[in-house]
Structure 1
Amino acid sequence: MLLSAVFFTLPAGLAAAQTLPDHYPADYADLIEKANEEGSLLIYSNMGPENWEPLIAAFNQHYPDIKVETLDLGPGEVFTRYRAEAGTGVATADMLAAGTIGDWIQAANDGLVVDYETPEARFLPEWSLPMPGVYTFSADPMILMYNKVLVPEELRTASMEEFFANITAHPDVFKGKIGTYDGQFAFGESINFAFVRHHGDKAWEWFDAIGPSARPGGGTGGMIEKTVSGENTASYFASGPVLFPRLEQGIGQIIDWKFPSDGTPVFLRGVGITEKAPHPAAARLMLDFILSEEGQYAVAEGKLTAYRPGVKPEGETSYSLDEVIEEIGGEDKMILIDYDPDMLKEHDAFIARWAKAFGM
């Protein structure tokens, strides 16, 4: 467990004269006053300091009197810890930010998050508010990766259909050397579920064909290391935001990558205010800021994917969702890994079918 107590302090009163956007309610100044009186904010998330620091620094430029602390936990632990603490009356988190779709669905159904309507909602895609009180923090694309040295350029396709065909057609290159997430666990399940929903029976045919060549397990960091070393020649459904910053460190000489051209999975990382929040006003300010244009630029600076329309961060290895959509040729080429309740209803059958295809 990593406690990342990230505190930023600026001279008191710096934000006192700030001008609020026209679309904010007239009484928003009262909310700011209450938040300043609360003076602190605790967030449970499965993100590290490198993701939070730019966002908290930007937030504190406006609200220097609010001390922000983040606790870095496993994605499932974000919810189990909050449930345990809230159930016993112990002081707990004001906000949750995590990437486990099933946990968010259950949390919303159980009333663990506040149905807060942000003034920023009018500027956001409809899909970014999947359930009352659950907003989207970032929308992260899943990509294909290849080892340039071991995979000939003509086999480094952007098409998932061609990628799967190449695996079976060229076992000398790919057999036993394909990395991906384990679809039996929450993150991998949600990606695979959305992919199958999009492609239908063809997806199962592909999985059945390439299952013996794949080595599911671990996260994107491990996929990168194995693809760089040559232990894997390719990986699919890797997280783009994990890879992109590392390209600046020289691995672009070895790694080639693609947005899948026939459907790029996009993972929606959730964020919400807890029903038992000790500092509800501060939590509302932070949620509004995360969803604002300035906040989304700070999300991008924290190496995640800003999705608010019009946000386009600078830098060759920093992508917004607008830029991903441009690259893949339109929103219809995007597979949203959304909050489909069928994923929970079909969980056992889906896991069994996936495990059969991959021999697990």
Structure 2
Amino acid sequence: MRNVGFRVPFVSIFLIAFFILIFSRIAVAEVEDLLAQINRKPAEERHKLLIENAKKEGTLTFYAGTNFRDTQEIVAGFNKHYPFIKVAFSTPGGPGVLNKVLTEHRAGAYQADVVALTGGYVPELIGKGILAKYKSPMVPFLRKGFVDADGFWPGVYAIAYTMIYNSQRVSPQEAPRRYEELLNPRWKGNMIMDVEAHDLFAGLIDLWGQDKATVFLRKLAVEQKVRFSRQSHTFMTQLVASGEHDLIVDGYMHNAVAFKERGAPIDYVVMSPTILRPPSIIAITSRSPHPHAAALFVDYHLSKEASEIMVSKQGRWAPRKDVKWTVEPEADLHVVSALEWGRKLRQLVELFNKSVGQ
């Protein structure tokens, strides 16, 4: 009897888990199939169908990795075109978005319709079936590297790396033009770098191979005595502007432009190729309660108008090919792949830490 009493709950639990899995897959398929069917319609009919159903839905929930002001500007632009959709949004930051959707997924309480977050988190969400496949008609207008091969999870903005230097301590003639030049004795003890510059490291591995990139990083840490900082990139740029350090190895282009425009004594080097961090992506969730409104919102976020807002008002490197960035590099661009390196993030971090002696 004890054996029977043990097996019944076990079988029950197994069946419950089985049906949860089956129904979960059905629900995911329903959202993806719905979006795919709509996308097969002619453009005018497709847009009309989305609007008709979005009016019935009346709302959508958006979790954003960007700050409140920047998110609000995009939402305001969207509502000029679709005033009948109330957008409930929160801005918990990239890690916060990840935690919110994972918590909802575990609890089976699905609220988010659209998420925008750091690209490196995408593989985990895809692996758990949290993101729906949706190919926006805006995808053909996006820059190379801002969309996955199948076009389902497009990027909405990216951050470019540059070397930022103090223009009073470093002349334009001696400013390094290549990362390899940072191994010159001139820079020993005079550089600062993010202690989590994993994306730059990934980009260098892509371009140089793992052996060369690892040796370079180790020499920066051991021989050149680069200072690794846990402060924000904005704060590190302030340290360079104040003369505490000559140069940031992994500076952010938008910080360099903003500080220079405000008259700070800094300048920067546009590298060739210019390495971009994995773009932050936007996606519809696989259990979206309002998929029609969500599709309209994603389409707008990838529109020319939205990219112009992100570039002119927010200083971001937006995804559209027909919208110029504040600084348009003449050199080639290398965009670090969110899908590739997101899957290998743990190994990347371990190799980075080992190389710098952490």
How far apart in 1 are the matches of 2:315 and 2:88?
A: 19
Correspondence for 1:306 among 275, 295, 318: 318
What's the CA shift string for 1:232-258, capped at 9, x where partnerless?
22112222234433433222xx11112
Using a 3 Å threshold, how does the CA distance of structure 1 residues 127 and 198 change in structure 2: closer, same or farther?
A: same
Question: Secondary structure, in 3 states, of the residue corresponding to 1:130?
Answer: coil
Question: Secondary structure, in 3 states, of the residue corresponding to 2:45?
Answer: coil
Larger helix proportion of the pair: 2
Trace 1:149-168 onto structure 2 (pairs within 5 A): 149-162=168-181, 164-166=182-184
Question: What's the CA shift for 1:62?
Answer: 0.7
Using a 3 Å threshold, how does the CA distance of structure 1 residues 161 and 46 change in structure 2: closer, same or farther?
A: same
How far apart in 1 are the matches of 2:172 and 2:344?
A: 41
Q: Are the aligned partners of 1:94 and 1:274 in contact in 2 as well (CA < 8 Å)?
A: yes
Q: Are the aligned partners of 1:76 and 1:100 in contact in 2 as well (CA < 8 Å)?
A: no
Correspondence for 2:67 among 28, 33, 48: 48
Report the more deviating stretch, 197-206 or 112-121. Answer: 197-206
How far apart in 2 are the matches of 1:245 and 1:38?
A: 41
Count of residue pairs the alignment pairs up: 312
| Normalised TM-score (structure 2) | 0.79
Trace 1:349-360 onto structure 2 (pairs within 5 A): 350-360=348-358
Correspondence for 1:206 among 216, 232, 236: 216
Amino acid at match of 1:199: W
How far apart in 1 are the matches of 2:303 and 2:146?
A: 13
How far apart in 1 are the matches of 2:319 and 2:341?
A: 25
Report the more deviating stretch, 337-346 or 32-41. Answer: 337-346
Using a 3 Å threshold, how does the CA distance of structure 1 residues 36 and 303 change in structure 2: closer, same or farther?
A: farther
- Identity over aligned residues, as a percent? 23
Using a 3 Å threshold, how does the CA distance of structure 1 residues 265 and 30 change in structure 2: closer, same or farther?
A: closer
How far apart in 1 are the matches of 2:112 and 2:145?
A: 25
Question: What's the CA shift for 1:180?
Answer: 2.2
Aligned to 1:114: 132
Aligned to 2:335: 336
How far apart in 1 are the matches of 2:68 and 2:260?
A: 20
Aligned to 2:186: 170
Q: Are the aligned partners of 1:35 and 1:282 in contact in 2 as well (CA < 8 Å)?
A: yes
Question: What's the CA shift for 1:263?
Answer: 4.2
Aligned to 1:347: 346
| Normalised TM-score (structure 1) | 0.78
Q: Are the aligned partners of 2:256 and 2:268 in contact in 1 as well (CA < 8 Å)?
A: no
Question: Secondary structure, in 3 states, of the residue corresponding to 2:271?
Answer: coil
How far apart in 2 are the matches of 1:346 and 1:99?
A: 13
Question: Secondary structure, in 3 states, of the residue corresponding to 1:221?
Answer: helix
Trace 1:7-46 onto structure 2 (pairs within 5 A): 24-46=43-65
Aligned to 1:128: 146
Using a 3 Å threshold, how does the CA distance of structure 1 residues 144 and 170 change in structure 2: closer, same or farther?
A: same
Structure 2 gaps, min length 5: 1-40
Aligned to 2:16: none
Structure 1 gaps, min length 5: 1-21
Aligned-pair RMSD on alpha carbons? 2.5
